[in-house]
Structure 1
């Protein structure tokens, strides 16, 4: 994956290096417009991608089979995913701004990310089908076999 700013390459990493992706979303996170930012954990670094970079969009949605096989995509509501103030851009009506693109040593955000209560692993498509299942009459009482009550995939 190559990261550009104004047509200049500023970063590069391979998808195989990705250990975990956390999509932070507003509201229920049901539409791509609800995504606030993505946190990508590599072996040594953590990268923050604002929603407008396309990581949460094109990279995820155009390669769903890759992410489904990798089982590394997690989700957390924005209200439960605070970042240190120095990583957020500006304030808008007293609401913390979204973070800018940034690569940090993994240890720098490790304790912050440990406090987030994430759901997954599940791709956008898996989340969509789980929402559909829950919206059906009596749907909330039947969970797909691969998911437990916290929507965390059971590991064999």
Structure 2
């Protein structure tokens, strides 16, 4: 039987559940950076594949099925906007070590599994990714709308036909 994962805010903490049993928790005020990895254009919540949350000396990896990108991110826009710690990167430029990915069939690598790893293990890797941000989902949406308008000024250096 497949495990049921979810995340939720409980006061200042983000709590991670597996089959309704608490497996981990993190103090939200210790979070220094959140990196959302998306597929395609990243225009819809369904495009989000996983999040990497950096806090102190650790990094937590939240796959899409944990609900971190939905519940935790979308419920507290003001919190994330104030912190300016949310970044974005396309899955074309972001890959995790094989030990952190789960399999999806015979010899095929899938997305990541939930994990808490030393931050140093991912720092160099993430440092090479072309991060977009900091910007919340709402800020990202409005920038996308602005960029889609003819003669937009929001993306200097880009010519429009």
Sort the TM-score into its range (normalised by shorter chain): 0.7 to 0.9
From the two aligned structures, give the one with the greater strand fraction.
2
Question: Equivalents in 1 of 2:109, 2:137: separation in Å?
Answer: 25
1:69-80 matches, within 5 Å, as 69-80=82-93
Compute the TM-score of the two structures, normalised by the length of structure 1: 0.87
Pick closer, same or farther for the CA change 1:93–1:131 going to 2, 3 Å.
farther
Compute the TM-score of the two structures, normalised by the length of structure 2: 0.84
Pick closer, same or farther for the CA change 1:80–1:96 going to 2, 3 Å.
farther
5+ unaligned residues in a row in structure 2: which ranges?
1-13
Question: Equivalents in 1 of 2:41, 2:108: separation in Å?
Answer: 18
Q: Post-superposition shift, 1:96?
A: 3.5
Pick closer, same or farther for the CA change 1:25–1:94 going to 2, 3 Å.
farther
5+ unaligned residues in a row in structure 1: which ranges?
150-156
> How many residues matched?
144
Q: Post-superposition shift, 1:86?
A: 1.1
Question: Which residue does the alignment assign to 2:154?
Answer: 143
Question: Equivalents in 2 of 1:121, 1:42: separation in Å?
Answer: 16
Question: Equivalents in 1 of 2:151, 2:105: separation in Å?
Answer: 41
